[in-house]
Amino acid sequence: MRGAERVVIATDDERIAETVRGFGASVLMTRDDHVTGTDRVAEVARRLRTDIVVNLQGDEPVFDPRMVERMVDRLQRDPALEIVTACHQLHSVKDFQSPHVVKVVVDRRGHALYFSRSPIPDGGLATGTAYRHVGVYAFRREALAKFGRLPRSPLEIAERLEQLRALENGMRIGVVETKSPTVGVDVPTDIKNVERVMRVSLD
């Protein structure tokens, strides 16, 4: 990815750390009591000297690097934003109705209004306003530190979505749309889909 100063893999599992060291990547061990991946990244960010931290979680292994570059660019250009994430349009009724596919509703300025596992907005497929949230984030370092200090919020707990903690506490999240659908791992059967996409990309 262009512009990345450093790539660090954060984990509390020594087996993962050993594998990472085996292929020469950088790894930082964290506490083992983090409830979310973002809380884990917030711990690591306290040890780094950087203005922007990109959180790439293991359940989003396939994505277009240009999407992340656009996310970082938007964060740099808009001082009002604290976090930027991504989405792509949904066309499948099955995906729209699935609780394993997180949906995001976005306003006209490209700011997140809400995230849910429920099919929102009602009629979204028909109106072209149904979007799958891509669980990749670009944070300002101070915003990530703030997030890490906040207690879990009621909507976060109800929906099991950590980004709602930020929204409930008034943090503004920008959303970048990608035309390249990503493949997330939400249930074990999704692994086969990821493997198929990876095989195609290597051919």
pLDDT at 8: 87
d(CA 117, CA 63) in angstroms, rounded, equals 21
Q: Which of 17, 165, 159 minimizes the C-alpha distance to 82? A: 165
Residue 137 CA to its chain's centroid (Å):
4
pLDDT at 202: 44
Token digits of residue 110 = 């490209």
Q: Which of 129, 167, 122 minimizes the C-alpha distance to 147? A: 167
Quick check: helix, strand or coil at residue 86?
strand
pLDDT at 86: 96
Token digits of residue 58 = 């293991």
In Å, how far are 7, 54, 67, 118, 147 from 63, measured between CA atoms? Answer: 16, 13, 8, 23, 24
Q: What string of pLDDT tens digits covers the 203 residues of the chain?
A: 566 788 888 999 999 999 999 999 999 899 999 999 899 999 988 888 889 999 988 777 677 889 999 999 999 999 999 999 999 999 999 999 999 999 999 999 999 999 999 999 999 999 999 999 999 999 999 999 999 999 999 999 999 999 999 999 999 999 999 987 666 666 666 666 656 655 555 45
